[in-house]
Amino acid sequence: MKITVIGHGYVGLVTAAVFADLGNSVYVVGRTAEKIENLNKGIIPIYEPGLEELVKQGLSAKRLHFSLEYDPYVSESDIVFIAVGTPPKSSGEADLSTVLEVAKKIGTHLNGYTVVATKSTVPVGSNKMIARILAENKDSKAKFDTASVPEFLREGSAIHDTLNPDRIVIGTKSQRAQDLLITLHKPINSRFVLCNLETAEMIKYAANSFLATKISFANAIAKLSEKVSADALSVLEGIGYDKRIGNEFLLPGAGYGGSCFPKDVKALIAISKQHGYDFALLSEVENINKEARHDIVKKAVKMLGEVQGKKIGILGLAFKPNTDDMRNAPSIDIIASLSKMGATIKVYDPQGAENAKKIIQGATFCKDSYEVAENADLLIILTEWNEFKEINLAKIKEKMREPKILDGRNIYDPEEIKELGFVYQGVGRA
Ligand code: UGA
């Protein structure tokens, strides 16, 4: 098939690279000349394991192309995917301006029959709006149908998730569009959830909000576990084996970050409000998440006594491992609070440093964990990179002024680390 993908962020680029790998001709349209030039050379703007190789394969097979122009790709395509960003406005609602602008441009280039499918996360009703814009801007002979095909990939495991999804959701009222999208996705062995546009739009928000709720539940259980001398990890393991609950996304820690959960929880609260429903459960999910970050700061204060003048080392800045993405990373708020209290901060992240330098001020960026540990009074783990699980803790202890570890992602065994002579504090561990 001939496909155009508008946007080359995580969703757009991964979708394009995977569909090219599956044998389709894929055109990716962007709006930044430098990025498009780089992409055509196989240089990708994000860190995502395996993606650069897949893009390079697509380029050398001549199945993947990057361009600034809609012309002639959109008019020749069977399916056009909209995969541009929908950042939150100050009210929490998703900002649809780029999606609507893109829809207008697609409309003017439609020719023959085309399916216009949205992968961007958009509020319920947006695809109807997109259909209206397409209809207003298209040539009278051009025919199209719209569909909502939400994306469930995670950063850091994006290619694996795209090739092995738990389900593929296709929301459309058109049988022809549904058939075409099923044919495109057939090589990906998964079950289909076939529904109308509004249902598909809701599934995306409900999925992310439910996962965020699980994480906040885990953080609430962690908080209570500390008070009653229970071990939250065992409590959550104990409930997770119940298939009705499931053990994924039940890890307590510094809370959820990234570009999706914070934005989509906020957006679902806003959508609910617009429809006269107060989704108080989700407001509490947000509160617990904020508290999870704040609790790391409180624990640091308790472990240090006086923060003023102390040296704190931070291991991990990105919002999760295997990404360089700093959007809404818990590290940002935690470092800001500790700096404000007068601590000197040294930081290290295996991939996130370049992006972090644009956001985090006043911290010293180090080349590795050992440099961070040098003369530190406290080490705080904020991202569970494998590298940190494997560091030489004896060497770390030698370098530190005070051997204290605050493990915001519970990557170490409390008993083992105490045996090494560290003062240790995790999240939810008795
Ligand atoms: C999330 C969803 O998992 C994807 O299904 C979805 O497609 C994506 O958002 C999106 O809407 O685009 P992502 O934000 O890449 O994916 O990363 P996650 O692995 O979901 O992690 C999100 C945050 O939750 C991270 O900060 C992570 O540290 C935190 N988390 C995750 C926990 O604190 N505990 C857990 O048990 C799991």
Chain segment 126-145, per-residue pLDDT in tens? 999 999 999 999 999 999 99
| pLDDT at site 305 | 95
Question: Ligand 1 mean position to 195 CA, how many Å?
Answer: 25
| pLDDT at site 184 | 98
Residue 3 has pLDDT above 80, yes or no: yes
Which residue is closest in CA terms to ligand 1's atom 12? 260
- Measured distance CA(146)–CA(115) in Å, rounded: 6
**Ligand 1 within 6 A of 408 CB?**
no
Burial of 288 (0-12, 13-18, 19+ CB in 10 A): buried
Question: Please, are residues 107 and 137 in contact by the beta-carbon 8 Å criterion?
Answer: yes
Which residue spans within 302-427 are E strands per DSSP? 311-315, 344-348, 364-365, 378-381, 404-407, 423-425
Which residue is closest in CA terms to ligand 1's atom 23? 256
Catalytic residues: 260
The enclosing H or E element of 171 equals: strand 167-171
Residue type, 356: A
Question: Ligand 1 mean position to 393 CA, how many Å?
Answer: 28
For the whole prediction, is pTM greater than 0.75? yes
**Token couple for 65:** 């192309």
| Residues with Cβ within 8 Å of residue 16, at least 6 apart in sequence | 3, 5, 8, 26, 28, 58, 64
| pLDDT at site 430 | 74
Is residue 79 helix, strand or coil?
Answer: strand
**Ligand 1 within 6 A of 250 CB?**
yes
Q: What is the pLDDT of residues 238-260, one digit of tens each?
A: 999 999 999 999 999 999 999 99
| pLDDT at site 419 | 96
Rounded to the nearest integer, the mean pLDDT of the chain is 97
Q: Mean pLDDT over residues 18-38, rounded?
A: 97
Q: How do 113-118 and 143-148 pair as beta strands? A: parallel
**Token couple for 290:** 């904020």
Is residue 364 helix, strand or coil?
Answer: strand
- Measured distance CA(46)–CA(326) in Å, rounded: 11
Categorize the per-residue pLDDT at 94 as very low, low, confident or very high, splitting at 50, 70 and 90.
confident
Cα dihedral 194, 198, 200, 202 sign: negative
Q: Mean pLDDT over residues 47-58, rounded?
A: 96
Q: Vertex 109, ends 106 and 113: CA angle to 5°?
A: 90
Residues belonging to the chain: 430
Question: Ligand 1 mean position to 160 CA, how many Å?
Answer: 15
Question: Please, are residues 70 and 29 in contact by the beta-carbon 8 Å criterion?
Answer: yes
Q: Vertex 375, ends 374 and 381: CA angle to 5°?
A: 65
**Ligand 1 within 6 A of 257 CB?**
yes
State which ligand 1 atom lies nearest to the alpha carbon of 152.
Answer: 7
CB atoms < 10 A from the CB of 344, how many? Answer: 17
**Ligand 1 within 6 A of 288 CB?**
no
Pocket probe mutation, ligand 1, options 157, 208, 383, max atoms within 8 Å of Cβ: 208
Question: Ligand 1 mean position to 262 CA, how many Å?
Answer: 10
Which residue is closest in CA terms to ligand 1's atom 6? 152
State which ligand 1 atom lies nearest to the alpha carbon of 208.
Answer: 2
- Measured distance CA(375)–CA(230) in Å, rounded: 33
Question: Ligand 1 mean position to 132 CA, how many Å?
Answer: 33
- Measured distance CA(32)–CA(45) in Å, rounded: 11
Q: Mean pLDDT over residues 250-275, rounded?
A: 96
Which residue is closest in CA terms to ligand 1's atom 29? 256
Question: Ligand 1 mean position to 77 CA, how many Å?
Answer: 32
Which residue is closest in CA terms to ligand 1's atom 5? 152
- Measured distance CA(174)–CA(295) in Å, rounded: 50
Which residue is closest in CA terms to ligand 1's atom 30? 256
- Measured distance CA(44)–CA(55) in Å, rounded: 8
The closest of 118, 198, 204 to 153, measured between CA atoms, is 204
| pLDDT at site 88 | 87
Residue 266 has pLDDT above 90, yes or no: yes
**Ligand 1 within 6 A of 385 CB?**
no
Pocket probe mutation, ligand 1, options 249, 265, 331, max atoms within 8 Å of Cβ: 249
State which ligand 1 atom lies nearest to the alpha carbon of 204.
Answer: 11
| pLDDT at site 169 | 98
State which ligand 1 atom lies nearest to the alpha carbon of 329.
Answer: 26
Q: Vertex 269, ends 174 and 335: CA angle to 5°?
A: 120
Cα dihedral 27, 33, 37, 43 sign: negative
- Measured distance CA(48)–CA(34) in Å, rounded: 19
| pLDDT at site 91 | 87
The closest of 251, 306, 267 to 429, measured between CA atoms, is 251
| pLDDT at site 230 | 97
Q: Vertex 5, ends 30 and 86: CA angle to 5°?
A: 70
Edge-first strand order for the sheet with 143-148 is 64-67, 25-29, 2-6, 79-82, 113-118, 143-148, 167-171, 191-195
Which residue is closest in CA terms to ligand 1's atom 19? 154
Is residue 118 helix, strand or coil?
Answer: strand
**Ligand 1 within 6 A of 208 CB?**
yes
Residue 314 has pLDDT above 90, yes or no: yes
Residue 120 has pLDDT above 80, yes or no: yes
Q: What is the pLDDT of residues 223-232, one digit of tens each?
A: 999 999 999 9
Question: Ligand 1 mean position to 281 CA, how many Å?
Answer: 19
